[in-house]
Chain A
């Protein structure tokens, strides 16, 4: 194994992708999960089913549809190419779009679970204090589900780092652009470079474990402080 020649670019790319995806998803998922937790709409199971699809769908299927929808032959692809001059596939932008779809349930579900576990009376007390739904969500609901927020952020981040199938379908393996760590490992194995594959895999394993351990440690401390209901 050769540490000196270790190329960190795939890792940096993986983290950049995960960071951007997590940030975008956090903004999108808060209103969606809040709505899902509060609504009595009959369409709720439908919305839940659609948003959970990426969990059960093979990544290649999801990747194929995204590729199909964003390629230069599709109306969406043509629109972006002609209006903004950007291509949506086989580049970093494409990866971000695909990851947002792929990791969506991993952000929504912990947040929704957190919102649903809140004492309804506490939210009602806020409404009766004259506060709007948005202010209640922002000042009462969110601060009281910190462990769920942290879980959602970390799981989404970690899940995006661990992405493989979708990334390969939508991004290919362009060094410095779409060649993330998981894809790099796949290529090392294909070229029988087991030494590098071992090294990359070990780094991923250690980092993933550390991140998860940190989350569980924080949650254990937080539930002791707030007092578990």
Chain B
């Protein structure tokens, strides 16, 4: 059980912001931390890691990591941390990166085997691809068998294919090592696939929490199907207008009448929804 109750004043883009988090996380849970940039996600992660100070208390399985009297240093928390930019030790080979944390050859070999890095074990990080580096970073984080694994947007710099592979590795290691995992992420599909609990921050406060399904699968009113997107263009076609909207990685077209075309402006965030028809699902052809 991870009990977090912390406060910290942050210097935001729009003046001071109060980070105020009161959160309980179950043992072995996989928690996704979402929210706009600047909402305090990374700071929360860093406070958990002991890299930044904050007022309040953090308890992990009855052990006090911080309270009014004492603050346990990063060195003594025994956490695993995965950075967005990998942050590997550039002067050490893949295997040395792992052994630096803990001289456990067997564990290092096992982890490299699991993540298909065995062939690369003697290479320097600079000669690896982004996805390979992040897998090394993930292995390194597991080397001290952490109770708590923290990840700060670990996959946001990778292409979709590599993400999917790493999501698999992350979930695998989370289960095998029985860690409690907290991951900052913006990607709904990633959150849905990995997390069993989700917390949304806004301006330093928790605004939503629950399972990813409860938090994300919500439509307004009687709509059956709705997607958020960005209006890219409004094109006049005879008497009607066509709105070009980007949703996720895709571009779709929506018919608009002249009244609607006047109300919307290009660049606006919009909601695309339908009531009458049920969407169908079909396999993608290669």
Contacts and interface: CB of A to CB of B under 8 A. Distances in A.
A139 B90 contact: no
Contacts of B143: 129
Given A129-B144, A130-B144, A226-B126, A124 B51 contact: yes
B83 interface: yes
- A-side interface mostly: helix
Given A139-B100, A227-B126, A128 B91 contact: no
Contact of B75 (A121, A132, A143): A132
A33 B83 CA distance: 26
A136 B181 CA distance: 26
Given A121-B83, A139-B100, A227-B126, A126 B77 contact: no
Contact of B87 (A122, A131, A143): A122
Contacts of A186: none
Interface residues of A, number: 19
Nearest to B90: A144
A55 B212 CA distance: 60
Given A121-B83, A124-B74, A226-B126, A129 B101 contact: yes
B65 interface: no
Given A129-B144, A132-B75, A122 B89 contact: yes
A119 interface: yes
Contact of B91 (A124, A125, A143): A143
Contacts of B18: none
Given A139-B100, A227-B126, A128 B49 contact: yes
Interface in A125-179: 125-132, 139-140, 143-144
B19 interface: no
B76 A121 contact: no
A122 B126 CA distance: 14
Contacts of B88: 122, 125
A129 B76 CA distance: 9
B100 A129 contact: yes
5 contacts: A122-B88, A124-B51, A127-B51, A129-B144, A227-B126
The 10 closest A-B pairs by CB, nearest first: A121-B87, A227-B126, A143-B91, A129-B101, A127-B74, A121-B83, A122-B87, A130-B75, A125-B87, A128-B81
Given A122-B87, A128-B80, A227-B126, 16 more contacts: A122-B90, A125-B83, A125-B140, A127-B73, A127-B74, A128-B49, A128-B79, A129-B101, A130-B78, A130-B144, A140-B89, A140-B100, A144-B90, A144-B91, A226-B124, A226-B126
